[in-house]
Amino acid sequence: MSGRDEKPDTKQVIFNISKEHNFPEWYSEICKVAELADIRYNVKGFTPFLPWSMMSMNLMFDYLEANLQEKGHLPMLFPTVIPESNLTKEAEHVEGFTPQVFWIREIGDGQKLEEALALRPTSETAIYPMYSLWVRSWRDLPMKRYQRCTVFRSEVKSTRPFLRGREFLWIESHNVFATHQDALNQVMEDLEITKEVVTGDFGIPVMVFKRTQWDKFPGGLNTYAADTLMPDGKVIQLPSTHDLGDNFARAFDVKYLNEENEMVYAWQTCYGPAISRIYGAMISIHGDDKGLRIPYKIAPYQVVIVPIFKDKTKDEVMKYCRNIEKTLRKAGIRVHLDDTDQTPGWKFNFWEMKGVPIRIEAGPRDLKEKKVVALRRDTMERESFDLTSLKKRIPKLGGAIDANLRSIAESKFEGLIVDADSIGAIEDALSNGKIARVPFCTTEMEGQGCGDEIKDRTGGEVRGTRIDIDDPLVGVCVVCGKAASEMVYVARSY
């Protein structure tokens, strides 16, 4: 605290809840006090997202869209409504989603629509009828497109801002290929995007699973999903990608003329990173008992400047701080100068709670020495450096902060997996906030009975088989006693 004319008032605590011991309260309170979302909107499951969260989510969209476009995807935007006749064309798909659909059946003062319209729960049945018109020849393939939009699902579970709502923000990519192998290659590319962006840019470690046949995307062949661990020991699904085979192509007549002049059905995939859910996971994983800790890459303000002065030094200190602000803004850094009349101590606590990665403090002595003091939100450590090194030092600090937050998050995965060879061992693992790895009969449909019994007796769900590591196969199914064909992971989930 050298270089200060006054000792900041640190008595006021803006946020101080133990995330480890009371995560639900921590989460609800941080959404409120950090002004991320307002649950007072009077439609259950529909929540206004406020500027501090939207600013980060817009940046998260940008990172994902840039990655998609680098890999050949082009943006588009479809209407929010889907005709009922579209939705019912793929029988398995509609059976899976109909219970969650919001319907529009009339307009104005009760005038009935000729055909009911669904608010999109996902957009396959909206997009693929158009793909049947757009895909004509092998020269049109691959067709890789995505949209950034909201979707609507009538969640039956308890809703919670960002993590589970009835309207949420996402990107969905929908891709068409000439061969099934091309489609499978896209699935693997989608998982790479998840690792590059969700883990690499947002600092959220994930485990990648091939879901069971009873937990796959309705109408598809196979689903692959990235799960992460929340502070309460439950897992949450983040992006998922789906091998649709040619099922939707047959339902919606997506054909193309191949090089042998034959009309054949195309192969398709879809990928759905739910930005609002990823944001909820991000704040949960990186936050601490003081509040948020937002990665530098996606922080609304990467730097906040707090002037420290007495009345007689106010003008010169404020001028110095405005020059710092101008320098950082010209360098492309998102910066905010807090020139309110609150005390420095109040500002310190407030911006720590909001999770701004770097705080710059400047007072008369700093001005005289042409220096600044910077505090890292992740470690709460201060350092002083010359004003001339500001433009280079801040991005380096930001990179170090992001690497540290990711490292801390990844350390939570150490020792997370527990081998379990009985229902009791699964219960013990889940009660201790762990994930159980168990021998299992099969993840095909005939194994659903064993999966349901595990869920009924332990509260955990079979998440599927890992595809990012090789698991040795050992033992017999923990439920039916048949020879195990797969090692699956069981966890409690959102």
The residue ranges of every structural domain in the chain are: 33-286, 296-411, 417-491
pLDDT at 44: 87
pLDDT at 311: 81
Please name the fold of domain 33-286: BirA Bifunctional Protein; domain 2 (3.30.930)
Entry pTM: 0.93
Q: Which CATH superfamily is domain 296-411 in?
A: Anticodon-binding domain (3.40.50.800)
| In CATH, 417-491 is 3.30.110.30 | yes
pLDDT at 328: 97
pLDDT at 100: 85
- Residue spans of the chain under pLDDT 50: 1-11, 13
Task: Encode pLDDT of 223-250 as tens digits.
Answer: 999 999 999 999 999 999 999 999 999 9
Please write down the HEC assignment for all residues of the chain.
CCCCCCCCCCCCCCCCCCCCCCHHHHHHHHHHHCCCECCCCCCCCCCCECHHHHHHHHHHHHHHHHHHHHCCCEECCCCCEEEHHHHCCCHHHHHHHHHHCEEEEEECCCEEEEEEEEECCCCHHHHHHHHHHHCCEHHHCCEEEEEEEEEECCCCCCCECCCECCEEEEEEEEEEECCHHHHHHHHHHHHHHHHHHHHCCCCCCCEEEECCHHHCCCCCCEEEEEEEECCCCCEEEEEEEEEEECHHHHHHCCEEECCCCCEEECEEEEEECCHHHHHHHHHHHHCECCECCCCHHHCCCCEEEEECCCHHHHHHHHHHHHHHHHHHHHCCCCEEECCCCCCHHHHHHHHHHHCCCEEEEECHHHHHHCEEEEEECCCCCEEEEEHHHHHHHHHHHHHHHHHHHHHHHHHCCCCCEEECCCHHHHHHHHHCCCEEEEEECCCCHHHHHHHHHHHHHHCCEEEEEECCCCCCCCCECCCCCCECCEEEEEECEC
pLDDT at 469: 87
pLDDT at 3: 39
pLDDT at 264: 97
